[in-house]
């Protein structure tokens, strides 16, 4: 190296300083991978952590390890939004209780076998907005939904009607919910009967068999910006935003429990 530096008239100290400034192979690989990581993170609304980002990168033709992705995201300050768990307890109607048939039967093994329903509260500057959904327990797809500024049986009926307009449950399918009066009301029970859905309700303080839809609500509130002040100023804007997120969730959001497929894609395979 001394002869080469002398021949070029370059001090050895300058050469070594220059060589140390050259990026390493690892640094070059990181730089190449960071760009698609940023693209995937932004394209999916900043809600994906390293496991889902890795799946997206694999699909884009950038095979890599999850820990490699996690390190680059951490160094670049890309942090997925985390759920803030909040759900007030609904009212209870003991006179309308029905058996927990889902607990007796066990979780769904096929699409359309068990539908689960629940609702949540979203704050606005004009009071609460209530969102009721119907989910296929097996595919995690949101089959139907409805919103209202009043928590009534009309809300839960509207969500179920919306689901029935686009999806058909299997014969003898269960519809499972908690013991809220909105699901125990005669109008809701009659709607279930007309469509040959067998009703099932959780026992008090036993929320595990409705955990999928409860988890979805936590995901919704963490990922969809429904708590942002500019959305809470307008009920119509908030409803439109929720509707947009639900479509994204069904069609595009990768679900770890479904082998990193969207609920809609998983549902097609499960048909």
User: Is the model more confident about 113 or about 13?
Assistant: 113
Residues 147 and 201 in one domain: yes
Residues 107 and 176 in one domain: yes
Percent of the chain at pLDDT above 90?
35
195-215 average pLDDT score: 81
Tell me the residue range of the domain where 65 lies. 2-76
Q: Which of 41, 76, 111 is where one domain is finished?
A: 76
Q: Which of 76, 104, 125 is where one domain is finished?
A: 76
83 domain residue, yes or no? no
Cα Rg of the chain (Å, integer): 25
Dump pLDDT digits (tens) for 46-60: 888 888 888 888 888
Residues 229 and 177 in one domain: yes
* Chain center to CA of 240: 17
Q: What are the Cα distances from residue 213, in Å, to 78, 87, 112, 182, 216?
A: 27, 12, 15, 16, 5
Residue among 8, 20, 37, 234 at smallest CA distance from 122:
234
82 domain residue, yes or no? no
3-state secondary structure of 255: strand
134-160 average pLDDT score: 95
Q: What are the Cα distances from residue 65, in Å, to 51, 53, 59, 135, 230?
A: 9, 10, 13, 33, 38
Residues 151 and 251 in one domain: yes
206-212 average pLDDT score: 70
* Angstrom distance (rounded) from CA 210 to CA 42: 31
Dump pLDDT digits (tens) for 162-184: 999 999 999 989 999 988 889 99
Residues 69 and 98 in one domain: no
Contact criterion met (CB below 8 Å) for 50 and 84: no
87 domain residue, yes or no? no
- Among 3-17, 141-155, 196-210, top mean pLDDT goes to 141-155
Residues 141 and 46 in one domain: no
Does position 122 have pLDDT exceeding 60, yes or no? yes
Q: Which of 76, 107, 131 is where one domain is finished?
A: 76
Dump pLDDT digits (tens) for 76-112: 888 887 655 545 455 454 545 688 888 888 888 899 9
196 domain residue, yes or no? yes
84 domain residue, yes or no? no
135 domain residue, yes or no? yes
pLDDT of residue 207: 58
Burial class (CB in 10 A: 0-12, 13-18, 19+), 25: exposed
61-86 average pLDDT score: 80
* Angstrom distance (rounded) from CA 63 to CA 65: 7
Domain CATH number, residue 141: 3.30.420.10
H or E segment and range at residue 199 = strand 198-201
Q: How many domains does the chain have?
A: 2
163 domain residue, yes or no? yes
Residues 124 and 187 in one domain: yes
């Amino acid at each position: 190296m001394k002869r080469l530096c002398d021949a070029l008239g370059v001090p050895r100290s300058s050469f070594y300083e220059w060589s140390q400034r050259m990026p390493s192979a690892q640094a070059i690989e990181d730089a190449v991978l960071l760009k698609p990581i940023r693209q995937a993170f932004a394209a999916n609304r900043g809600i994906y952590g390293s496991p889902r980002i890795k799946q997206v990168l694999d699909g884009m033709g950038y095979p890599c390890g999850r820990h490699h992705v996690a390190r680059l995201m951490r160094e670049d300050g890309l942090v997925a939004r985390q759920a803030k768990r909040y759900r007030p307890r609904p009212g209870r109607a003991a006179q309308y209780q029905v058996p927990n048939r889902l607990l007796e039967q066990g979780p769904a093994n096929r699409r359309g076998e068990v539908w689960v329903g629940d609702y949540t509260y979203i704050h606005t500057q004009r009071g609460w907005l209530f969102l009721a959904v119907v989910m296929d327990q097996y595919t995690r797809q949101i089959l139907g939904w409805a919103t209202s500024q009043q928590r009534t049986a009309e809300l839960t009926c509207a969500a179920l009607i919306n689901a029935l307009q686009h999806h058909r449950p299997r014969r003898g399918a269960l519809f499972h919910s908690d013991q809220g009066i909105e699901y125990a009301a005669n109008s809701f029970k009659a709607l279930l009967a007309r469509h040959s859905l067998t009703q099932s309700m959780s026992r008090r303080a036993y929320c595990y068999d409705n955990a999928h839809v409860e988890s979805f609500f936590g995901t919704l509130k963490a990922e969809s910006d429904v708590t942002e002040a500019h959305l809470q100023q307008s009920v119509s804007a908030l409803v439109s935003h929720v509707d947009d997120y639900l479509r994204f969730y069904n069609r595009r959001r990768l679900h770890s429990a479904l082998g990193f497929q969207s609920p809609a894609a998983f549902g097609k395979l499960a048909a």
